């Protein structure tokens, strides 16, 4: 017999806990950098990060507290810069770093099963921007 929630609020509480656990697991991954490490690795200062975040030029995944926020190392392209398409992704999909993360990590049928991140690494920025817009509009490229 399964351990089913008794009420809707129990179900929501369990779902929230699963979400917190998954977020903690993702944030603790080896490719998730603290602000200090991210800034140093890419020739920035920590004081540069808020402006870049505000401009949606970099992806930050919020944690429970600001010190727990993480910056994915993989958002930097082969030239050592953040993917130039990031502001367009935020513009299409909204301000949530977690939404952008999910979009980049998911496989997309429009990309023959490739993830959006893999397509970005292949230099297909324009296609990824169009895909994000079509998903946001519900037109599905």
**Mean pLDDT, consecutive 10-residue segments, the chain of 141 residues?**
75 83 90 95 92 96 87 91 96 96 96 96 95 89 54
User: Are the beta carbons of 61 and 49 closer than 8 angstroms?
Assistant: no
Task: Determine the Cα–Cα distance for residues 123 and 22; give it in Å rounded to an integer.
Answer: 29
The pLDDT of residue 31 is 95
Q: Note the pLDDT of residue 2.
A: 61
Look at residue 56 in the predicted model and tell me its pLDDT. 97
Single pTM value for the model: 0.86
> How confident is the model at residue 15, as a pLDDT?
83
Q: Is 68 exposed, middle or buried (0-12, 13-18, 19+ CB in 10 A)?
A: middle
């Amino acid at each position: 017999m399964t351990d089913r929630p008794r009420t809707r609020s129990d179900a929501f509480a369990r779902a929230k806990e699963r979400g917190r656990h998954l977020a903690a697991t993702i944030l603790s991954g080896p490719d998730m950098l603290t602000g200090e490490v991210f800034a140093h690795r890419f020739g920035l200062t920590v004081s540069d990060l808020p402006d870049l975040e505000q401009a949606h030029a970099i992806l930050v995944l919020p944690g429970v507290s600001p010190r727990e926020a993480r910056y994915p190392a993989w958002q930097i392209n082969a030239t050592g810069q953040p993917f130039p398409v990031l502001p367009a992704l935020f513009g299409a999909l909204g301000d949530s770093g977690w939404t952008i993360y999910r979009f980049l990590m998911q496989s997309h049928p429009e990309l023959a099963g490739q993830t959006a991140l893999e397509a970005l690494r292949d230099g297909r920025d324009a296609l990824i921007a169009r895909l994000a817009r079509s998903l946001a509009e519900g037109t599905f490229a």
